[in-house]
C-alpha cells in the first residue's frame, strides 16, 4: 500500500514524531495525509483556524446522510468542504483504528469532481457527494480489498462490487476501507494483522465484529452512513456495541457479489447509520425501492416477546435498559405479545455454525479464483493470523476435529433450515405481530482481549453465546433485522434492541423502526 511520510503537513497535528507505521496498529494500513490533502483539509483543521470554522466543522460531522446530501445537492454546502470535515474527524479519531485504507487526496478529488458536475448542471443523485466508509471485504477497484487478512494485503480487484457500483451511480464517494475482524470470522474486530478496532464509547472495549471499523467510524462521526456485512450478526453486533443503527435486510435483497464470503446462504451486505432515515435511503438506492416510509402510529402495534430464548441470562444492565425500552413502547400504545418458539435453540445449533464452517472453505476459494486474488485458499490460511488459523484448524479444514461432513451439512440445509423458516412463518401468522423485539446482545461491549467465558449473574456463559445468541436466529432464517440503540449503562456503554420481521417486509420494518426510534429517543454521542 502507498503511504506518505509528510505527516506534519496535516493541519492541526500535534508536534510529535510521525506514528511508527511499522507498529501493529499502523504498518498495514494506508493513511495518506500529504501536503496536497493538507491544503484542502486545512479549512477544517488548520492551526489558528477561527472558532467559527471549528463550530461549522463540528456541525457538519453531526449531519445525517439525508441532510448532507440535500445541502450538497442544493449547493448550500460544497462536497469538498463536507469531505474535508469528515477527513479531519477521521484524523482526529485515528486512535480508534477504524481504517485499513484512507486516502484523503483521492477523496477530496472525487468531492471536487462532484462540485464541478453540479455547477455544470448535472442532476445530483440520491447520494450526491456523500463519502461512505466501505468494509474492507467489499471489492473496490480504487483501493485494495484485504478482507483484513495478510495474504490479501495487496489485492486490487479489477472492478467494484455491484453494490458499490449502485452507490457510486447515485453519487456516493468511497471515503475509505474500514477495519474488520479478519476474514469476517469473529465477533471482536480485534484484528491481529491490522490492529484492534476500538469502541468509541470506551476505547478499551471491542466495537463488535466483524464490521467493527464501519460501526466505529459511524459512531465517532467520521461519516453518517457506512457499508457493513452480516453472515450471523456482523452488522448488528457492532451497531449494538457502538450505539448506532444497523440494518440487515432480508437475505438476497442486496447483491453480495464481489464481497469476501462465508456462506451464500447467509451472507448479506447492509448499512450502518445514526438514523433510520439514512438506513432507508441506503435501502432505496440498493433495492431500487423508493417507496417512502409510511408514518407508523405505535398505538395498537403488536410486538412479539419470546422470553424463554431471547431474554434468558441477560446482564443486569442490559435487562434494565431493555425493560425500560419496552415500558416506553408500551406507554405509546404498543401491545407486547408474549409467546413461544419451541425448538428454536436446537435448530440454530444444528444450522448456523455447521453451515458457515462447511461453506467458508468453498466459497472463499471460489472468490479468490473468480476475482484473481493471486493466492490460493490454502496459502491464505497459512498466512492468516494465529487466532484465525486456530479456528480454521479446529472447525473448517478437512481432518479438523469439528469438520462438518457433507451428510451433516446436507441435513442442516435440506431438513433443519426449512423447519426453521416454517417455524418463523407460523409464528408471525399465529401471533399477528409486526416484529419480534429483544435485546440484541446479552452483554454490553466487552474489554478488548476478553474472548473467553463471560460471567453473567454469577453464571459462566461462553463468549460467543453472550455476543451472538440473540442475533443468530434471524440471519439464519433470512429475516430482516433492525438494531436500535436503547440507552447507556451506568458506565456509559450502549445497549440496543433488535426488531426482526417477516422475510420480505423490509420497508415496513424500516417504517416501524423509525417510529420506535422516535419513541426511544437518541442516546448521547461518544465523548472522544
Residues 246 and 378 in one domain: no
Residues 402 and 430 in one domain: no
Asked whether residue 91 is assigned to any structural domain, the reply reads yes
- Residues β-bridged to residue 454: 461
Of 283, 285, 267, the residue nearest 275 (C-alpha)? 283
- Residues β-bridged to residue 269: 229
CB 278 within 8 A of CB 218: no
Q: How confident is the model at residue 54 (pLDDT cuts 50, 70, 90)?
A: confident
Q: Which residue has better confidence, 16 or 60?
A: 60
CB 293 within 8 A of CB 507: yes
Q: Which residue has better confidence, 9 or 198?
A: 198
Residues 332 and 361 in one domain: no
Helices (H), 34-151: 35-45, 51-60, 65-74, 79-92, 104-119
| 415 DSSP 8-state letter | I
Q: How confident is the model at residue 430 (pLDDT cuts 50, 70, 90)?
A: very high
Please give the Cα distance from 438 to 317 (Å, whole number): 14
Is the pLDDT confidence value at 301 over 90? yes
Q: Cell digits for 447?
A: 474489554
Q: Give the pLDDT of residue 41.
A: 45
Q: Give the pLDDT of residue 46.
A: 42
Residues 354 and 315 in one domain: no
Q: Give the pLDDT of residue 49.
A: 55
Q: Decide if 165 is catalytic.
A: no
Asked whether residue 412 is assigned to any structural domain, the reply reads no
Asked whether residue 62 is assigned to any structural domain, the reply reads yes
Q: Cell digits for 471?
A: 442475533
C-alpha dihedral over 74, 77, 81, 82, to 10 degrees?
A: -80
pLDDT tens digits for 498-508? 999 999 999 99
Q: How confident is the model at residue 52 (pLDDT cuts 50, 70, 90)?
A: confident
pLDDT tens digits for 135-162? 999 999 999 999 999 999 999 999 999 9
Q: Give the pLDDT of residue 15.
A: 32
Q: Give the pLDDT of residue 53.
A: 77
Residues 392 and 315 in one domain: no
Contacts of 42 (CB under 8 A, 6+ apart): 11, 49
Q: Which residue has better confidence, 151 or 5?
A: 151
Query: Which of 189, 234, 275, 515 is flagged as catalytic?
Result: 234
Backbone angles phi, psi at 521, to 5 degrees: 80, 165
Residues 459 and 371 in one domain: no
Q: Give the pLDDT of residue 51.
A: 77
User: If you write DSSP's letter for every residue of 186-247 in order, what string do you get?
Assistant: -SS-EETTTEE--BTTBTTB---SSSHHHHHHHHTTS-SEEEEEESSSTTHHHHHHHT-EEE
**Number of domains present in the structure of the chain:** 2
Q: Give the pLDDT of residue 295.
A: 74
Residues 189 and 132 in one domain: yes
Please give the Cα distance from 123 to 508 (Å, whole number): 29
Of 258, 444, 472, the residue nearest 366 (C-alpha)? 258
Give SS3 for 126.
Answer: coil
pLDDT tens digits for 383-423? 999 999 999 999 999 999 999 999 999 999 999 999 999 99
Residues 385 and 435 in one domain: no
Q: Give the pLDDT of residue 209.
A: 98
CB 272 within 8 A of CB 250: no
Which of 383, 407, 431 represents a domain boundary (last residue)? 407
Please give the Cα distance from 80 to 304 (Å, whole number): 46
CB 467 within 8 A of CB 527: no
Asked whether residue 301 is assigned to any structural domain, the reply reads yes
Please give the Cα distance from 71 to 69 (Å, whole number): 6
Asked whether residue 102 is assigned to any structural domain, the reply reads yes
Residues 359 and 228 in one domain: no
Query: Which of 11, 57, 90, 210 is flagged as catalytic?
Result: 210
Place of cell 506534519: 8
Question: How distant, in Å, are the alpha carbons of 20, 235, 464 from that of 451?
Answer: 28, 19, 8
CB 482 within 8 A of CB 419: no
pLDDT tens digits for 371-393? 999 999 999 999 999 999 999 99
User: How many CB atoms neighbour CB 311 within 10 A?
Assistant: 17
Residue 490: domain span: 1-337+417-528
Place of cell 449494538: 240
Strand 459-461 versus strand 30-31 pairing type: unpaired
Asked whether residue 185 is assigned to any structural domain, the reply reads yes
Average pLDDT over residues 174-195: 98
Place of cell 474527524: 89
Residues 488 and 381 in one domain: no
**Across all residues in the chain, what is the average pLDDT?**
92
Which of 407, 434, 451 represents a domain boundary (last residue)? 407
Q: Cell digits for 410?
A: 446436507
Backbone angles phi, psi at 346, to 5 degrees: -65, -40
Residues 329 and 352 in one domain: no
Q: Decide if 491 is catalytic.
A: no
Residues 355 and 444 in one domain: no
Average pLDDT over residues 279-299: 92
Q: Give the pLDDT of residue 21.
A: 30
Please give the Cα distance from 23 to 153 (Å, whole number): 16
Average pLDDT over residues 4-27: 33
The Cβ-side half-sphere exposure at 231, using a 13 Å CA radius, reads: 27
Q: Cell digits for 422?
A: 416454517
CATH of the domain at 206: 3.90.1300.10
Q: Give the pLDDT of residue 50.
A: 67
Give SS3 for 365.
Answer: helix
Question: How distant, in Å, are the alpha carbons of 116, 130, 272 from that of 79?
Answer: 10, 8, 21
Q: Cell digits for 319?
A: 435487562
Strand 190-191 versus strand 494-500 pairing type: unpaired
CA 488, 491, 493, 496 dihedral sign is: negative
Which of 386, 407, 428 represents a domain boundary (last residue)? 407
Q: Give the pLDDT of residue 329.
A: 98
Query: Which of 30, 78, 90, 135 is flagged as catalytic?
Result: 135
Please give the Cα distance from 402 to 241 (Å, whole number): 30
Of 202, 163, 225, 191, the residue nearest 212 (C-alpha)? 191
Q: Give the pLDDT of residue 20.
A: 37
Is the pLDDT confidence value at 39 over 70? no
Give SS3 for 457.
Answer: coil
Question: How distant, in Å, are the alpha carbons of 106, 206, 431, 491, 526 from that of 488?
Answer: 37, 16, 31, 8, 11
Q: What count of residues does the chain have?
A: 528
- Where residue 201 falls (left for φ over 0; alpha for ψ -120 to 50; beta otherwise) is alpha
CB 38 within 8 A of CB 88: no
Q: Decide if 419 is catalytic.
A: no
Contacts of 77 (CB under 8 A, 6+ apart): 60, 68, 71
Place of cell 453480495: 256
Amino acid at each position: 500500500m502507498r503511504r506518505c511520510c509528510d505527516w506534519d503537513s496535516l493541519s492541526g497535528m500535534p508536534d510529535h514524531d510521525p506514528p511508527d507505521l511499522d507498529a501493529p496498529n499502523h504498518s498495514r494500513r494506508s493513511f495518506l495525509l500529504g501536503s496536497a490533502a493538507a491544503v484542502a483539509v486545512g479549512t477544517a483543521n488548520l492551526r489558528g483556524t477561527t472558532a467559527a470554522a471549528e463550530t461549522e466543522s463540528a456541525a457538519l460531522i453531526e449531519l445525517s446522510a439525508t441532510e448532507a446530501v440535500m445541502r450538497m445537492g442544493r449547493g448550500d454546502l460544497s462536497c469538498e468542504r463536507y469531505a474535508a470535515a469528515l477527513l479531519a474527524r477521521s484524523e482526529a479519531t485515528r486512535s480508534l483504528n477504524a481504517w485499513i485504507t484512507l486516502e484523503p487526496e483521492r477523496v477530496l478529488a472525487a468531492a471536487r469532481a462532484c462540485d464541478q458536475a453540479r455547477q455544470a448542471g448535472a442532476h445530483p443523485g440520491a447520494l450526491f457527494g456523500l463519502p461512505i466508509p466501505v468494509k474492507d471485504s467489499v471489492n473496490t477497484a480504487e483501493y485494495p480489498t484485504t478482507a483484513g487478512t495478510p495474504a490479501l494485503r495487496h489485492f486490487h480487484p479489477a472492478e467494484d462490487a455491484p453494490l458499490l457500483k449502485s452507490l457510486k451511480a447515485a453519487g456516493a464517494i468511497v471515503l475509505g476501507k474500514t477495519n474488520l475482524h479478519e476474514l469476517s470470522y469473529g465477533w471482536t474486530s480485534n484484528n491481529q494483522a491490522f490492529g484492534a478496532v476500538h469502541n468509541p464509547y470506551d476505547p478499551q472495549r471491542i466495537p463488535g465484529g466483524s464490521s467493527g471499523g464501519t460501526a466505529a467510524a459511524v459512531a465517532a462521526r467520521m461519516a453518517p452512513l457506512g457499508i457493513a456485512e452480516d453472515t450471523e450478526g456482523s452488522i448488528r453486533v457492532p451497531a449494538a456495541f457502538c450505539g448506532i443503527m444497523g440494518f440487515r435486510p432480508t437475505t438476497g435483497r442486496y447483491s453480495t457479489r464481489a464481497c469476501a464470503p462465508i456462506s451464500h446462504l447467509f451472507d448479506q451486505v447492509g448499512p450502518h447509520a445514526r438514523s433510520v432515515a439514512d438506513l432507508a435511503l441506503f435501502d432505496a438506492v440498493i433495492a431500487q425501492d423508493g417507496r417512502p416510509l409510511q408514518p407508523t402510529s405505535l398505538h395498537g402495534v403488536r410486538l412479539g416477546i419470546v422470553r424463554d430464548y431471547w431474554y434468558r441470562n441477560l446482564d443486569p444492565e442490559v435487562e434494565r435498559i431493555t425493560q425500560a425500552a419496552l415500558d416506553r413502547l408500551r406507554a405509546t400504545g404498543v401491545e407486547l405479545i408474549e409467546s413461544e418458539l419451541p425448538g428454536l435453540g436446537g435448530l440454530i445449533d444444528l444450522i448456523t455454525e455447521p453451515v458457515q464452517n462447511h461453506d467458508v472453505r468453498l466459497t472463499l476459494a471460489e472468490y479468490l479464483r473468480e476475482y484473481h486474488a493471486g493466492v490460493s485458499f490454502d496459502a491464505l490460511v497459512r498466512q492468516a493470523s494465529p487466532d484465525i488459523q486456530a479456528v480454521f484448524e479446529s472447525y473448517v479444514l478437512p481432518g479438523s476435529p469439528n469438520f462438518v461432513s457433507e451428510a451433516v451439512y446436507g441435513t442442516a440445509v435440506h431438513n433443519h433450515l426449512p423447519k426453521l423458516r416454517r417455524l418463523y412463518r407460523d409464528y408471525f401468522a399465529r401471533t399477528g405481530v409486526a416484529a419480534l423485539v429483544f435485546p440484541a446482545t446479552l452483554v454490553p461491549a466487552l474489554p478488548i482481549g476478553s474472548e473467553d467465558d463471560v460471567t453473567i449473574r454469577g453464571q459462566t456463559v461462553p463468549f460467543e453465546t453472550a455476543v451472538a445468541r440473540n442475533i443468530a436466529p434471524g440471519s439464519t432464517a433470512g429475516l430482516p433485522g433492525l438494531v436500535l440503540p436503547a440507552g447507556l449503562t451506568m458506565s456509559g456503554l450502549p445497549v440496543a434492541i433488535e426488531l426482526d420481521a417477516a422475510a420480505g417486509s423490509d420497508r415496513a420494518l424500516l417504517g416501524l423502526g423509525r417510529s420506535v426510534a422516535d419513541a426511544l429517543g437518541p442516546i448521547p454521542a461518544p465523548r472522544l
